[in-house]
């Protein structure tokens, strides 16, 4: 069936089999391999992407369910914030994970960052517990989570100072 959707701002048209999972479209068809497959049972969150701005698990969704919608993967994230806010080309969340050692093997990181991206839209200044609840759908087997929580809070601070949400929208606008 013909599928049309936007991925990282670009219009994508592809003929897909109905059973194609969204994550397989991203990785195998569009070569966007930043999105990972960790568990394949919708537990680990490594496949998290943003669908119309909100975090979903792309291994737990058919590509066709995203017909006509807008997707953001980790590859497109840094483009959403103004250039001066990027550190070596990285989005503040990516930079904070880098600076705070919020990763070791890095496999869970894209999913973690996009889940955090969703959380920080709702809550620009989350407490430790709120971050942990916000990323409950993402599993990390290396860090013990503490540096991840710290990284999310550091990024939250950077975004608050800049007066924008993680998708680069001015706070108080964009329907939130």
Q: Which is nearer to other proteins, 32 or 46 (CB)?
A: 46
CB of 128 to other proteins, least distance (A): 16
CB of 86 to other proteins, least distance (A): 26
CB of 20 to other proteins, least distance (A): 8
Q: How close are the terminal C-alpha atoms of the chain, in Å?
A: 35
CB of 65 to other proteins, least distance (A): 6
Q: Which is nearer to other proteins, 44 or 85 (CB)?
A: 44
Q: Which is nearer to other proteins, 24 or 100 (CB)?
A: 24
Instruction: With H, G, I as helix, E, B as strand and everything else as coil, classify residue 9.
Output: coil
Q: Do 33 and 27 touch, CB atoms closer than 8 A?
A: yes
Output the six-digit token pair for 49: 């992407």
With 0-12 / 13-18 / 19 or more C-beta atoms within 10 angstroms meaning exposed / middle / buried, residue 66 is buried
Question: What is the rounded CA–CA span in Å between residue 62 and residue 60?
Answer: 7
Q: Do 120 and 114 touch, CB atoms closer than 8 A?
A: no
Q: Which is nearer to other proteins, 25 or 85 (CB)?
A: 25
Q: Do 116 and 93 touch, CB atoms closer than 8 A?
A: yes
Q: Which is nearer to other proteins, 85 or 118 (CB)?
A: 118
Angle at 9 between CA 175 and CA 39, to 5 degrees: 90
CB of 82 to other proteins, least distance (A): 27
Output the six-digit token pair for 115: 């889940």
What does the binding site for other proteins look like in residue numbers (CB under 8 A)?
Answer: 1, 17-19, 21, 24, 40-43, 45, 48, 51, 54-57, 59-62, 64-65, 67, 115, 118-119, 134-138
């Amino acid at each position: 069936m013909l599928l049309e959707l936007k991925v990282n701002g670009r219009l994508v048209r592809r003929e897909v089999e109905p059973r194609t999972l969204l994550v397989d479209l991203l990785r195998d068809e569009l070569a966007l391999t930043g999105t990972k497959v960790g568990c394949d049972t919708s537990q680990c969150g490594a496949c998290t992407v943003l669908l119309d701005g909100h975090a979903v698990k792309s291994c737990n969704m058919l590509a066709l369910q995203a017909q006509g919608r807008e997707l953001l993967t980790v590859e497109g994230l840094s483009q959403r914030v103004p250039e001066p806010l990027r550190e070596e080309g990285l989005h503040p969340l990516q930079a904070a994970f880098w600076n705070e050692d919020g990763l070791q093997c890095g496999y869970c990181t894209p999913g973690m960052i996009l889940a955090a991206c969703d959380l920080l839209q709702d809550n620009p200044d989350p407490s430790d517990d709120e971050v942990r609840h916000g990323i409950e759908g993402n599993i990390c087997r290396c860090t013990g989570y503490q540096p991840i929580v710290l990284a999310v809070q550091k990024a939250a601070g950077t975004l608050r100072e800049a007066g924008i949400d993680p998708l680069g929208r001015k706070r108080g606008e964009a329907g939130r």
